[in-house]
């Protein structure tokens, strides 16, 4: 039986970063991944020689001195990433049916204000107020800025400010309200629930700077994997945890579906909390604790269409589009039968070879799990491939054609330039990242019941910890912050921040 100091369940970015932090501190660590590829939402796949991202289509905060740049410098990977800076005067473009205007999000706050004010010349003061409030909110999350400080968990005003309602106080201009919330697909925003702090933390890093990963986001996972192995850590793929077993009151063993058992002193789970607790040996935690996580609402899932273009037919555009059928950008997450899709986001593939033409594009839109529920007892991954049936394949084809018809309205002629297309559904997300219902961003944060939806790193099992997108906020930056929060339970936050400061001092010499 193999023995470790720490076993990490799941090789999503949160799990990998925890492993990286701990192996550098001398801990004997292993990461258990049920699939063939590591990285969770950083996974990529290749179709017709085009590399597609599955979850991370662009990144923010990577310019020198910005938060994600500083975190990645700590891990020693920043200078190894292949990146392309997106259009500075419009990395995201918000558009609407029946409105020929395009509403750009520019990089840099002054530039953001200047460019958007050109579309709303009477609203410059209000746009500046909006930007100032985003920046103010971000200062109230110390670790977001690589600082120690008072936890935001006790800040009721911060937790209970609703994003939609707050934006409505900024301006009376209905169009501007919808433009300012027009990228809420980034956090599956719910008008009645989403806190403004989630909106602010996500948007801030992109406004500071926005980047595409050339050749896909899996390079991040691969670089962290290299670090882990360099320091003696183990990563076991195709190693699915069947049950977590105890020795007295202490969690001690991970029993795998392949029959192996791995022993550890401490465990970190990158899986969804309810999925993690399902793995525990029965009777070891209170039922009410488990029920709490089971009862929490998870964010929406998605249908993603992956387009391969015919060679030299579609011009590459270095920005994303967020398009809406109507002016209510909060409505698409709760579409009614026959309305689908009410919105979509488009993300060009940044190919390895620079070209004026695009190799492909990903198109992301909401999809309710109920639409694929009839196939929920099937499972299909690269590690365990299975055919869900022709009816499921026809469902995907029909939905793909509907979405292409919508794209044709926005991008006339695009259909004739498509060489091939592929798609994923909520079942794909569920099977690859073990997220209930194929949820994109995990547990919904609710501004009207904030404490219920806050997930601490420390669990009711003394040597089991959570990490990943369910803790504070999602995305590459949010998950990176969560990894430090989790590891601070073992190493101490002051110690970790001191290590970051020392590395920065070394780099700046």
Q: Which fold has domain 2-56+217-295+445-508?
A: FAD/NAD(P)-binding domain (3.50.50)
CA 45, 51, 55 angle in degrees (round to 5)? 60
Query: What string of DSSP letters covers 198-253?
Result: HHHHHHHHHHH-EEEETT-THHHHHHHHHHHHHTT-EEESS--EEEEEEETTEEEE
Strand partners, 343: 324
Using an 8 Å Cβ cutoff, are 399 and 410 in contact? Answer: no
Task: Report the candidate in 333, 79, 311, 339 with the shortest Cα–Cα distance to residue 194.
Answer: 333
Q: Which residue has the tokens 């488990």?
A: 290
Per-residue pLDDT band for 157 (boundaries 50, 70, 90) equals confident
Tokens of 15: 């799990």
Pairing mode of beta strands 261-269, 2-9: parallel
The phi, psi pair for 467, rounded to 5°, reads: -150, 175
The phi, psi pair for 181, rounded to 5°, reads: -105, 10
Percent of the chain, pLDDT > 90?
A: 86
Residue 144 to residue 450: CA distance in whole angstroms: 19
337 has a pLDDT exceeding 90: no
Tokens of 359: 């190799």
pLDDT at 472: 82
| Segment among 25-34, 41-50, 282-291 with least mean pLDDT | 282-291
Q: What is the pLDDT of residues 50-100, one digit of tens each?
A: 999 998 999 999 999 999 999 999 999 999 999 999 999 999 999 999 999
pLDDT at 461: 95
Max Cα–Cα distance, the chain, nearest Å: 69
Query: What string of DSSP letters covers 310-365?
Result: PTT-SB--SSEEEEESSS-TTSGGGPPTTT--SEEEEEE---SS--SB-SEEEEEE
Report how far Cα 458 is from the mean position of its chain's Cα atoms.
22
pLDDT at 281: 94
Q: Can you tell me whether residue 406 is helix, strand or coil?
A: helix
Helices (H) and strands (E) in the chain, counts: 16, 19
Domain boundaries, the chain: 2-56+217-295+445-508, 297-442
Q: What is the pLDDT of residues 413-448, one digit of tens each?
A: 999 999 999 999 999 999 988 899 999 999 999 999
pLDDT at 114: 98
Does residue 288 or residue 399 have the better pLDDT?
399
Per-residue pLDDT band for 381 (boundaries 50, 70, 90) equals confident
Mean pLDDT of the chain: 94
Residue 177 to residue 171: CA distance in whole angstroms: 7
**Per-residue pLDDT averaged across 260-280, rounded?**
96
Tokens of 311: 């060679």
Residue 493 to residue 495: CA distance in whole angstroms: 5
The phi, psi pair for 90, rounded to 5°, reads: 170, 80
Q: Can you tell me whether residue 236 is helix, strand or coil?
A: strand
The phi, psi pair for 469, rounded to 5°, reads: -70, -15
pLDDT at 506: 81
Residue 96 to residue 328: CA distance in whole angstroms: 10
Pairing mode of beta strands 320-324, 92-96: parallel
């Amino acid at each position: 039986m193999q023995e470790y100091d720490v076993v990490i369940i799941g090789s999503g970015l949160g799990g990998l970063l925890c492993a990286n932090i701990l192996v550098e501190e001398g801990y004997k660590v292993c990461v258990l991944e049920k699939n063939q590829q590591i990285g969770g939402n950083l996974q990529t796949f290749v179709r017709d020689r085009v590399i597609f991202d599955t979850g991370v289509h662009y990144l923010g905060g990577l310019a020198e001195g910005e938060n994600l740049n500083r975190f990645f410098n700590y891990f020693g990977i920043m200078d190894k990433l292949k990146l392309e800076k997106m259009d500075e005067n419009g990395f995201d473009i918000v558009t609407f049916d029946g409105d020929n205007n395009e509403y750009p999000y520019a990089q840099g706050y002054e530039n953001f204000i200047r460019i958007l004010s050109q579309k709303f010349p009477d609203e410059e003061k209000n746009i500046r107020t909006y930007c100032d409030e985003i920046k103010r909110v971000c200062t109230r999350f110390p670790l977001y800025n690589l600082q120690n400080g008072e936890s935001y968990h006790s800040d009721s005003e911060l937790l209970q400010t609703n994003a939609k309602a707050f934006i409505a106080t900024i301006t009376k201009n209905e169009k501007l309200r919808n433009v300012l919330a027009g990228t809420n697909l980034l956090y599956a925003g719910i008008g009645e629930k989403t806190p403004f702090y989630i909106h602010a933390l996500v948007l801030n890093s992109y406004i500071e700077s926005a980047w595409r990963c050339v050749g896909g986001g899996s390079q991040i996972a691969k670089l962290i994997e290299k670090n882990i192995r360099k320091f003696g850590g183990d990563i076991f793929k195709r190693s699915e945890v069947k049950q977590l077993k105890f020795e007295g009151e202490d969690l001690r063993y991970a029993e795998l579906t392949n029959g192996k058992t791995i022993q550890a002193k401490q465990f970190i789970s990158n899986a969804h909390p309810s999925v993690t607790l399902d793995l525990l040996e029965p009777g070891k935690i209170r039922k009410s604790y488990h029920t709490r996580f089971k009862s929490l609402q998870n964010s929406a899932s998605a249908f993603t269409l992956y387009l391969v273009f015919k060679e030299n037919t579609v011009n590459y555009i270095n920005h994303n589009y967020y398009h809406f059928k109507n002016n209510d950008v909060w409505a698409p997450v709760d579409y009614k039968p026959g309305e689908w899709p009410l919105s979509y986001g488009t993300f060009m593939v940044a190919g390895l070879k620079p070209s004026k033409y695009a190799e492909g594009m990903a198109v992301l839109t909401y999809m309710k799990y109920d639409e694929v529920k009839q196939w929920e007892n099937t499972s299909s991954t690269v590690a365990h491939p299975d055919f869900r049936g022709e009816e499921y394949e026809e469902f995907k084809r029909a939905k793909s054609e509907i979405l292409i018809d919508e794209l044709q309205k926005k991008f006339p002629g695009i259909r004739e330039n498509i060489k091939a297309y592929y798609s994923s559904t909520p079942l794909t997300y569920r099977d690859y990242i073990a997220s209930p219902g194929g949820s994109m961003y995990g547990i919904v944060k609710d501004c009207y019941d904030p404490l219920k939806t806050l997930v601490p790193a420390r669990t009711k099992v003394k040597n089991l910890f959570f990490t990943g997108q369910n803790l504070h906020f999602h995305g590459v930056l949010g998950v990176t912050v969560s990894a430090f929060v989790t590891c601070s339970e073992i190493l101490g936050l002051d110690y970790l921040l001191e290590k970051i400061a020392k590395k920065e001092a070394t780099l700046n010499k």
